[in-house]
Amino acid sequence: MLTTKIVTIERFLLDTQPDYARGDLTALLYDLALAAKVIASQTRRAGLLDILGFADNVNIQGEEQRKLDVYADDIVVRLNDHTGRLCSMVSEEREDWIPIPAKYPKGHYVLVFDPLDGSSNIDTNISVGTIFGIYRALDDERRGRLEDCLQPGRDMVAAGYILYGTSTMLVYSAGQGVHGFTLDPAWGEFLLSHEGIRFPEAPKYYSFNHASAGRWSKPMKQYVDWLSASQTPILSQRYLGSMVADFHRNLIHGGVFGYPDEYNKPDGKIRLLYEAAPLAFLAEQAGGYGSDGKGSLLDIRPTHIHQRTPVFIGNRNLVEKAEAFIVGS
Ligand code: AHM
Ligand code: MG
């Protein structure tokens, strides 16, 4: 007979949040778990969109990915704009930050998110993910402002991602370790499956887009040569081009994911606020590290909600070695 405890995400959130986080933050995380279920139910049907259509039965050839992005964005906003827990949001899908409509009460938190990262992979049935970060409002008395959204990652109170893979997983941290939940589609519940995740000490993978090597700096090439040639045991290279999935694999098996600057992309590709910083927060909580190649991603104060940054993230020693190559050059 199985004796493993079955713990739902709701039970876990209620039992583990510190006192200051009880209430709004817990409820916000639970609302994100609900968004995850709704988005998962649509991404699972992605391959059927050409046959069955999507949402209002409009089926525009070649538009599926964009539509799932927009759908995911819409679900997160509509589940969260009226709850009185948020004062503002930022989404990769929207050019401007999102104020809470005046007709709804304002809360104390800021939600930044990428609704469906890696969505160019959808039409080949490769995993995609939602990334989120949560900050406290700077001034509880006022309605949300742009300044509330432009905080350094160090001030985040919680971060996480949802991975739409062979299973749907929600992985989050509210500053007390990193915990993973797997969606049981039959029960419609996220169940605790990975408590207290830490990067394994011996990493297995490095994840860079080698096709970009011709556009990397010399120290960057030297670093990737070092990753591929100087490790014992030897690291394998894995790169899906879907950052949540690449990060998750490396979190579970150990490794480093990177998207450096290139001569035609001086700040790389990854967005600081809602892609790099939340994953860096999780990495630190799991004993790892996230850097822009010069210092912690969590120490950068964004000046623009969609600003990009070079990214190196994973096992601390591997990320620090990237800094040694780049800064030491
Ligand atoms: P997106 O936000 O448009 O989906 O782009 C981000 C994605 C990441 O998930 C992934 O790491 C990266 O783009 C892959 O880019 P490339 O194909 O240049 O390697
Ligand atoms: Mg993205």
pLDDT digits (tens, 9 = 90+) for 165-200: 999 999 999 999 999 999 999 999 999 999 999 999
Burial of 234 per CB tally in 10 Å (0-12, 13-18, 19+): exposed
- Asked if residue 148 and residue 129 are part of one domain, the reply reads yes
Q: What per-residue confidence (pLDDT) applies to 263? A: 93
- Asked if residue 188 and residue 84 are part of one domain, the reply reads yes
Which secondary structure element, helix H or strand E, spans residue 290, and what is its range? strand 289-291
Give the rounded percent of residues in the chain with a pLDDT score beyond 70: 93
Q: What per-residue confidence (pLDDT) applies to 58? A: 43
* Chain mean position to CA 66: 19
- Asked if residue 224 and residue 187 are part of one domain, the reply reads no
Q: What per-residue confidence (pLDDT) applies to 57? A: 40
122 lines ligand 1 (CB under 6 A): no
Ligand nearest to the CA of 248: 1
306 lines ligand 1 (CB under 6 A): no
Domain that holds residue 107: 9-194
- Asked if residue 124 and residue 53 are part of one domain, the reply reads yes
Q: What 3-state class would DSSP assign to 37?
A: helix
Total count of domains within the chain: 2
Q: What per-residue confidence (pLDDT) applies to 67? A: 79
Cα separation, 130 vs 205, whole angstroms: 22
Which residue's C-alpha comes closest to atom 17 of ligand 1? 241
In DSSP terms, which residues pair with 194 in a beta bridge? 180
Nearby residues of 187 by Cβ (< 8 Å), 6 or more positions away: none
Contact of 245 with 138, CB cutoff 8 Å: no
- Asked if residue 304 and residue 168 are part of one domain, the reply reads no
**Beta strand spans in 141-254 (E):** 158-164, 168-173, 179-184, 189-194, 205-207, 236-237
Q: What per-residue confidence (pLDDT) applies to 63? A: 44
Tell me which of 194, 228, 255 is where a domain ends: 194
Cα separation, 247 vs 180, whole angstroms: 13
Q: What per-residue confidence (pLDDT) applies to 250? A: 98
241 lines ligand 1 (CB under 6 A): yes
| Reported pTM | 0.94
- Asked if residue 167 and residue 110 are part of one domain, the reply reads yes
Query: Which residue ranges of the chain lie beneath pLDDT 70?
Result: 18-22, 49-66, 329
Which residue's C-alpha comes closest to atom 11 of ligand 1? 243
278 lines ligand 1 (CB under 6 A): no
118 lines ligand 1 (CB under 6 A): yes
Torsion of CA 64, 67, 68, 71, to 10 degrees: -160
Nearby residues of 209 by Cβ (< 8 Å), 6 or more positions away: 239, 241, 259
